[in-house]
């Protein structure tokens, strides 16, 4: 019993250190001049009913991506916080791709928000993991990302489900929990 507990503690510590808190990347950040508009900043972003009114980011190709535009075309928006260097994120990506394929025709849109610092590694991971939805953004600042701060993301992978008004429906829910809502 003690060996199993110690092993579990070691695995948990590894996961926390590998994808939570400090970023081990040393690449310099690139400024995309993204803008964010904050609403209800005094509310806890993790709480249901918190509304993220509007924000925009820049895609890898330089296209401006707006939460309002995504919301106009989808009933729900899944914000996926991840990074190319995060092992658990990369292991989660096949399930995310499958989830998207299952629910994209039922009103689900995904906005992937990367906490990468290296643009080439970010783009390589998008391609290699077949993250085939059109909405990907990053300010390439790692854990100093304004997106992570705005959404109060403390670990990755993290998913936040918003409705079309920008209201938080689920914060860091499982695909199973979200499936119940979408079915």
Q: Which residues pair with 114 in a beta bridge?
A: 82
Tokens of 123: 């783009």
What is the per-residue pLDDT across 11-40, written as a single tens digit (0 to 9) for each?
Answer: 333 333 345 544 333 333 233 333 222 233
Indicate if the pLDDT at residue 154 is higher than 80. yes
168 backbone dihedrals φ, ψ, rounded to 5°: -70, 125
CA 23 – CA 144 distance, rounded (Å): 9
CA 56 – CA 96 distance, rounded (Å): 22
What distance lies between CA 132 and its chain's CA centroid?
15
Q: Which residues pair with 179 in a beta bridge?
A: none
Mean pLDDT value across residues 71-99: 96
Q: For position 116, which CATH number holds?
A: 3.40.30.10
> What range does the domain containing 72 cover?
2-182
What letter would DSSP give residue 30?
Answer: -
pLDDT recorded at residue 19? 55
CA 129 – CA 126 distance, rounded (Å): 5
CA 32 – CA 35 distance, rounded (Å): 9
pLDDT band of 49, cuts 50, 70, 90: low
The β-bridge relationship of strands 158-163 and 168-171 is antiparallel
What average pLDDT does the chain have?
Answer: 78
Kindly state the percentage of the chain with pLDDT values over 70. Answer: 71
Does the reported pTM lie above 0.85? Answer: no
CA 43 – CA 46 distance, rounded (Å): 9
Q: Which residues pair with 146 in a beta bridge?
A: none
- Number of structural domains, the chain? 1
């Amino acid at each position: 019993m003690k060996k199993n507990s110690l092993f579990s503690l070691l695995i948990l510590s590894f996961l926390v250190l590998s994808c939570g808190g400090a970023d081990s990347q040393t690449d310099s950040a690139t400024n995309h001049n993204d803008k964010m508009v904050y609403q209800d900043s005094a509310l806890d972003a993790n709480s249901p009913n918190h509304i993220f009114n509007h924000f925009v980011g820049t895609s890898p190709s330089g296209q401006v991506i707006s939460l309002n535009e995504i919301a106009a075309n989808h009933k729900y928006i899944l914000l996926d916080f991840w990074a190319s260097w995060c092992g658990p994120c990369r292991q989660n990506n096949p399930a995310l791709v499958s989830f998207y394929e299952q629910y994209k025709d039922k009103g689900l849109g995904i906005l992937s928000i990367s906490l990468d610092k290296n643009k080439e590694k970010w783009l390589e991971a998008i391609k290699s993991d077949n993250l085939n939805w059109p909405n990907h953004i990053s300010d390439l600042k790692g854990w100093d990302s304004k997106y992570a701060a705005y959404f109060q993301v403390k670990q990755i992978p993290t998913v936040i489900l918003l409705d079309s008004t920008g209201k938080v429906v689920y914060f860091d829910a499982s695909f199973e929990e979200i499936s119940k809502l979408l079915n």
